[in-house]
Structure 1
Amino acid sequence: MATGMRTGENLDADEQKNLPQVVPSAEVAEVKRQPAKLPGYSQAAVAQRLGEAPEPPTPGVMYEGSHKRLHETGWHTKRYLKRKTLRVTNLQVEKKARKNTRTMVAVLISACSVLLVILVVLVSLQGFTNAVNQQYQGRVMTLQDILPRDNLKIYDAQGTMIYQTADQGMQTTLPLKKISPNLINAEIAIEDQNFWKNDGYDLTGIIRAAISDITAHGVVAGGSTITQQLVKNTIVGNKDTALRKLQELILAPQITRYYTKQQVMEMYLNTIYYGNMVYGAEEAATKYFGLHDNGKQTAAQQLDIAQAATLAGIPSNPALRNPIAYPKNSYKRTLQVLDQLYVQGYISGKEKTAAIQEIQHPNFIRPTNPPSEKAATYVNYVMSELQTNLHASAADLSRSGLTVKTALDLKLQNYAQNSAKLHVQQMTAHHITNASVVVMDQHTGAVSAIVGNIDPNDPKYGSFNVATQGYRQPGSSFKPYVYATAFQQGTASPGSQVLDAPLTIPMCCGLPSYEPHNYSMTYGGWMTYRKALDNSLNIPAIKIEQTAGIDQSLAVATKMMNISDGNGSKAANVYYGSPNITMVLGALSVRLIDNTQGYATFANGGVRIPYHAVNQITDQQGKIVYKPDTKGTRVLSEAAAFMITNTLSDNPSRNLEFGPCSALYLYTSSTSNCYAGNPGKVIPAAAKTGTSNSFVDNWTMGYTARYTVGVWAGNNDNSQMINVTGVDGAGPIWHDVQLYLNKDKPVQNFAGPPSTVVKSNGDWVLKK
């Protein structure tokens, strides 16, 4: 091939089209079927690939295919209308969706609000529950200790009740075993039929009560369980509020966790109010049916079905269902209780019928008031002693749950009261209108009788207790204290001689001289102090006071009577007046009970034991909370006490003034027999009389080996008596009371002389 001549491979496409078409040989054809081996990035390869792309269509050329209309006539209109309708529908759907969304949001908000409210309520309730538990937890745990206490009860030495407080209601607590099962069943049947099974509250009971209230358009049922009622009455109070009701519901389960059902029932039956100021089953059984503890069974144990049903019907409305004031209401309610007892299987139909018949009996209800107060004066003193010893007010004592056993001998008290009244009536011509008596056991200090007034019901003076409240001049009954001082000092003795003659005592500071006189205005000359004391002579008394000393004598007297200066003193036992030379004649004012204490000290050999009316105080559980101090204190020598007793019991020695058969001589026969030389049984007794200036106060003080008795007679208004001495006014009362105390008892002599005294010149003196 010539140089420059292009081969077919080097011709472009147009040039190749113009070449003559030569049919290739088989070999050539075989060669052409092989693809050209060109690099992919060469222009020729690119040109080849371009040739493989389909040619674009020629404008105006018709292609094969159908030329029919794709849609029927009106399709586009229908589509337009459908699209328009769809648009409206979509708008409605969208609007509804928006509304549903808003509703859903509102519901969600409401639900959240409700949940929030519930959460707040639950949190608040939990907080309230915690607050209630925190506030009352201590009271729940100590419920048995904070229950309302029984009313105060006072008994005499023999166990007879003489008084019980009633101003704050009466209650007597009993163990559950001493309360009739009839009452237990009746209370459960009408108040809380699921008591033994519930947790302190009863939802079915609450719902049932609510339905009853709604049906009746008023409150006709409470729905409170017995446990809730116990909580109301003892812990949260009885205000009729929802808050209180909620507190009940919270605390009731706590009660059931801390206490058994038996304990809850016991607390309930002992404290529930049964109307007419009575609380608990025992007092209710007594109040409405006249039942009493007979020693074998308590009143509450004796309740039968009818009585128990009647009581069980009261607590729901004590004001309107108590059987005394509203018998018809009580009867109607009792029938309801009996119905419930029958329905719940506690009683049979026969028992129900018998109970209804019993209720209809005219004497079924027997209203019973507490026994009348016995020994009112004594009780009043006991109350004052309780207030002093327990540091409590009368209001505190009223429902203290205390039981007080006193030293009172009720028979003795009544005897002394009647004796005082009788003798005062016999002395009306001498202008005596009143008398007072104190009886004391010198060995124990027990005061077994106090007559404060012969007529406790007297509207003017009846409430005044002369024995414990009246300060009176003791007259010559004060002399033994001065004599005892001298005997103790050894400056005088019963056998010492003294001149009973006119006496003038110079006074200081320009005051006129003091000239004492005997009551008889006569003088006996030389005599022994024994005779002078026994005949109550004033001149020898002044002389022995000068010998012993006024201050020293006062010290002995106040120690023996356990009194102190009342001028500005805050002590309970005091005297009034200024100690001076007239003290030995009774110028100081003292109480009868204190003077009796002094004579009891003589009787006990110079050992003073504090007097007391209260022997023992026990609490509601029977624990002793108080016993008096009976430990003696020596305040006078045994020798001086013996000499005084020996002198005051020397009846022959006092014949000069009183005669052989005076009231100071304890003989058992009549006065005429005594003067005839037949006194009967004679009881050794030491006694001393006293009459104050102007015959205002009249005393007889004395003792036997067993008892000390002090008697005062006079007038409440301090007016003068007429021609009366101690042996005439107070003496007969003292004589009668001492005889009563010693009757049917063997004669008992006073103790013999102690080793510190000896006989000298026929009388006793201190041993040197």
Structure 2
Amino acid sequence: MPFPLLSHLVKSPSCSRERGGRRVAGVLLGVVLLALVPVRAQEMQEAQDVQNGQGSGTPRFEAVRAAYRSSETWLLDRRGAPLQRIRTDFQVRRGQWLALEEVSPALLHAVVLGEDRNFYAHSGVDWSAVSAAAWANLWNERTRGASTITMQLAGLLHAPLQPGAGRRTWGQKIGQVRMAYALERGWSKAQILEAYLNLAPFRGELVGLDALAQSLFAKKAHALDMRESAIAVALLRAPNASVAKVAERACAALKLAESPWGQDCHALHFYTTAALRRRHFAALDGVAPHFARYALAQYRHERAREGLPQNLPSSLHAGLQRFASETLRRHLQEIAAQNVQDGAVLVLDNATGEVLAWVGSSGQRLSRASEVDAVLALRQPGSTLKPFLYAQAIAQGRLTAASLLDDSPARIPTAHGLYVPQNYDLGFKGWVSVRLALASSLNIPAVRALVMVSPDDFAQQLRQWGLPLPEPAGYYGYSLALGGVDVSLLHLTNAYRTLANGGLHGAVRWQVQPQDAPSAVSESVRVLDEGTSFIIGDILADRHARATTFGTDSQLATRFWSAVKTGTSKDMRDNWAIGYTGHFTIGVWVGNADGSPMQDVSGISGAAPVWAAVAGYLHALRPGVAPRPPAGLVHQRIEYVAPDGQRLEAGRMEWFLPGTEQSHFSLRLPTAPVDAPAAVRILQPQDGTILAIDPDIPPANQLLRFASSQPGVVWRINGEKVHHAREDAQWFWPLQPGPFQIELRDASDQQVLDRIRIQVRGLRQGRSGG
């Protein structure tokens, strides 16, 4: 006997003699009853169809277990370890198939006592129970049904045996009896009980013991106690019964078992009410919920005709996924006071394009929008687009890494007015090289580079890098240089992987590719030459070139070779750190899913610490080596000389595409006549400037800088004297809507020295930067 707790039901001599006598009487009465009951021809045909199984026969236990489908799909990592459970069937709720060893003895004991106390003695039909039910029906007395566990299992296994709107027909009952005998001949008692517990409906959508235990009691089936087992058996008998009826039946069973929980039926009623209201069995459980949804969507797209598997292998690395998730969550907790709630991390394998880590949210404890997948959400990338811009300018021969660009106030005419870019720190560096401008993330040089390339050509190039720009280039204008477009972390990180692969752009893969599958390189498309890719990577890895903005010892300065770029969108709404090593490309975004601005968060303090931690984890035991320069690149020393003989930047070794190399760089600036008087002019704002007031920023914080070439002047706005700059040449004016004429006058307020017009509208365009 497999369950000692039940042995007294079948081994007690007196019990056996007494029940043996009743069983013989029951069999005789059952035979008489079946012989006397008229069976219509149609019902006899139904019974014959069920007996024949329509050609299917009695199923084997192994086949039933193999055909079982949970309502959940498990996402597996690249080594087969379970990472994420996600519900995929919303018609019913099934958990995992449970072996009897995984079910608590209390539950097994309660099921047999409550549903079929002669389970281990009969051969499929308990004729004594049939006779008792028939006798009770004859006298209109209420009693439990005569269906054994085996007969109920027969009804669960064969759809023709399921009752329709009312009770089963006589043909179905006869077929159920015959199928029960067939199951008893082919299956063991343990197999019958195991299949019954996994296939039986309990309440509502809950099917099977695993779903019941996790939904109503928030525990595994092996931990169910007597009280919970009694409620489960009461639900087996009447899944749709009222709460009061379920509690009443459970309490009666506990009293019969002399359990302490049966002494207070009122308390049990409260417990049953709470249990039936709970739904602890969450639809998601694990460390990769967003990637699981993405992988399932990809699976459905690629294999539309196939059903979803119970286990879905993926390319994720379990250890890296957990580390990235925990690192992001811990860092966001540290900067939560700066109004930062959300973040995302993505790690790609450079060679294969496989996703190694995909963290789409900071989780429910930190985020108010934890269901939003920030890896796929569209956000403004800020300065992270600058490497692609300079790459295009260098590839076209318009610039080299040593070329000089002017970082000074600029005003660019557009169809909508003047475009006046500013650097993140609101300062200017003068003439700087492309290397310094890119590594230090200066805005104005990037806009000047875009003027050379043109927004149309740059927008087309970005699309080739896999960034889907939905609007024509004219929609974005020159703000495209500073990230004035919406992209996803997935597309942006894969674009940086293209740089890491020497300009070869390929698709992201969510599963480990078989060895006989086409390689990622063979399916890639070249969007940039290998030499330019190497130069851009060399600039992004140059900690000395980025020192102007970030210093030499920032989070970007790893102990191994890495090329990384940060970005901050307007009003600090998005913060990025995207970069790559010799083996991996890592993308990190932090911000707020609702678009609210962060407070005093830069690329170094926002996304970069997470990026550096993940990169360090990946290279803890694996060296990160610098890429080798492709054949043909020229590496030579350069010198910079200003007109007065002073150096602009220190001499250094620099990389050039063949035919663009140059050893000396100097400036020839126009000079005014020696005795010519210097004209006093308005330096800021520029003539034709259009500004906008942001309603989300306090008015006292929205100031416009006024600056003149010399102090000691008088400022008038729309004819009204507003400022007399005696000692300084700059001051700040609080914005207010309307058109304005600004005049600069001499100290006597008599002579107009310069005059401009500006306009202030609704929303103010925020600044972007590194």
Fold agreement, TM-score > 0.5? yes
Secondary structure of 2:349's counterpart equals coil
Give how far 1:660 is off: 1.5
- Provide the aligned length of Structure 1 versus Structure 2: 579
User: Alignment identity in percent?
Assistant: 22
Q: 1:477 Cα shift? A: 1.0
5+ residue gaps in structure 2? 1-35, 638-652, 660-770
Residue aligning to 2:491: 594
- Structure 1 residues 172 and 630 mapped into 2: Cα distance closer, same or farther (>3 Å)? farther
Residues 364-422 of structure 1 show CA distances to partners (whole Å, capped at 9, x for unaligned) of: 99999868788889414523542453269xxx99x974566655522431221121231
Q: Structure 1 pair 411/726, CA: closer, same or farther in 2 (3 Å)? A: closer
Equivalent positions of 1:345-424 (< 5 A) are 378-390=288-300, 401-402=310-311, 407=317, 409-424=321-336
Distance 2:473 2:519 in 1: 26
What corresponds to 1:554 in structure 2? 459
Structure 1 residues 17-56: aligned runs within 5 Å: none
Distance 1:240 1:417 in 2: 53
Query: Could you say which residue in structure 2 is the equivalent of 1:641?
Result: 533
1:576 Cα deviation from its structure 2 partner: 11
1:578 aligns with 2:578: no
Determine whether 1:316 maps to 2:192.
no
* Per-residue Cα deviation, 1:233-255 (whole angstroms, up to 9, x for no partner): 76254556234564354366468
Cα distance in 2 for residues equivalent to 1:607 and 1:462 = 35
Q: Aligned equivalents of 1:464 and 1:437: distance in 2?
A: 12
Cα RMSD after superposing both structures? 5.3
Q: 1:375 to 1:523 in 2, by over 3 A?
A: farther
State the one-letter code of the partner of 1:149: R
Q: 1:145 to 1:290 in 2, by over 3 A?
A: closer
Seen in structure 2, the aligned counterparts of structure 1 residues 607 and 211 have a Cα distance that, compared at 3 Å, is farther
String of CA shifts for 1:207-258, please: whole Å, max 9, x gaps.
Answer: 3432345567124224255244442476254556234564354366468769
What's the CA shift string for 1:469-493, capped at 9, x where partnerless? Answer: 5422211111112223344555544
1:599-614 to structure 2, matched below 5 A, reads 599-608=496-505, 610-611=507-508
Q: Which amino acid aligns with 2:603?
A: G
Out of 563, 569, 581, the position equivalent to 1:686 is 563
Contact 1:209 1:221 in 2 (8 A): yes
> Could you tell me which residue of structure 1 aligns to residue 380 of structure 2?
473
Shift of 1:586: 0.8
Matched position secondary structure for 2:237: coil
> What displacement does 1:708 show?
3.6
SS of 2:131's equivalent in the other structure is: helix
2:198·2:208 contact (CA, 8 Å) conserved in 1? yes
Does the alignment pair 1:445 with 2:354? yes
Structure with greater helix share of residues: 1
Match of 2:142 in 1: 218
The answer for the alignment partner of 1:531 in structure 2 is 436
Q: Which residue of 2 aligns with 1:540?
A: 445
Matches of 1:140 and 1:566, distance apart in 2:
59
- Matched residue, 1:206: 130
For 1:756 and 1:207, the matched residues in 2 are separated by 97
Q: How far apart, in 2, do the equivalents of 1:548 and 1:377 lie? A: 44
- Tell me the equivalent position of 2:545: 653
Q: Could you say which residue in structure 2 is the equivalent of 1:172?
A: 96
Unaligned runs of 5+ in 1: 1-117, 293-298, 339-355, 568-574, 617-623, 667-681
Distance 1:358 1:645, change over 3 A: farther
With the length of structure 2 as denominator, give the TM-score of the two structures: 0.60
Give per-residue Cα distances to partners, 1:181-232, cap 9 Å, x unaligned: 9987986676567879988666665334323455671242242552444424
Equivalent position to 2:172, from 247, 252, 258: 247
What residue in structure 2 maps to residue 112 of structure 1? none
- Sort the Cα spacing of 1:177 and 1:586 in 2 relative to 1 into closer, same or farther, 3 A: same
- SS at 1:689 equivalent: strand
Q: Check the 8 A contact 1:663/1:735 in 2, yes or no.
A: yes
Output one character per residue of 1:504-538: Cα deviation in whole Å (capped at 9) or x when no partner. 6555xx66465544445555454432222111123
Which of 700, 724, 727 is the aligned partner of 2:577? 700
Q: Distance in 1 between matches of 2:533 and 2:614?
A: 23
1:151 aligns with 2:79: no
- Residues 372 and 287 (structure 1), Cα distance of their counterparts in 2 relative to 1, 3 Å cut: closer
- Offset, 1:582: 2.8
Distance 1:577 1:628 in 2: 39
1:564 and 2:468 are equivalent in the alignment: yes
Return the letter of the residue paired with 2:635: K
* Equivalent residue, structure 2, for 1:678: none
Asked if structure 2 preserves the Cα contact closer than 8 Å seen for 1:424 and 1:435, the reply is no
Distance of aligned partners of 1:375 and 1:135 in 2 relative to their CA distance in 1, 3 Å threshold: closer
Deviation at 1:603, TM superposition (A): 3.4
> Whole-Å Cα distance in 2 between the matches of residues 169 and 403 of structure 1?
19
More strand by share: 2
Task: Please give the secondary structure, in 1, of the residue aligned with 2:450.
Answer: helix
Q: Which amino acid aligns with 2:43?
A: L
Alignment of 1:741-752 (within 5 A): 741-742=617-618, 744-745=620-621, 747-752=623-628
How do residues 702-717 of structure 1 correspond to structure 2 at under 5 angstroms? 702-705=579-582, 707-717=584-594
Distance 1:577 1:187, change over 3 A: farther
Q: Rg: which structure is higher?
A: 1
Asked if the contact 1:690–1:698 (Cα under 8 Å) also holds between the matched residues in 2, the reply is yes
Distance in structure 2 (CA, Å) of the matches to 1:451 and 1:657: 30
| Farther off after superposition, 656-665 or 404-413 | 404-413
Alpha-carbon contact 1:434-1:715 (below 8 Å) kept: yes
Q: 1:462: which partner in 2?
A: 369
- Contact 1:139–1:146 (CA<8 Å) still a contact in 2? no
Q: Deviations for 1:98-128, whole angstroms, at most 9, x for unmatched residues? A: xxxxxxxxxxxxxxxxxxxx99965333454
Distance 1:566 1:139 in 2: 58
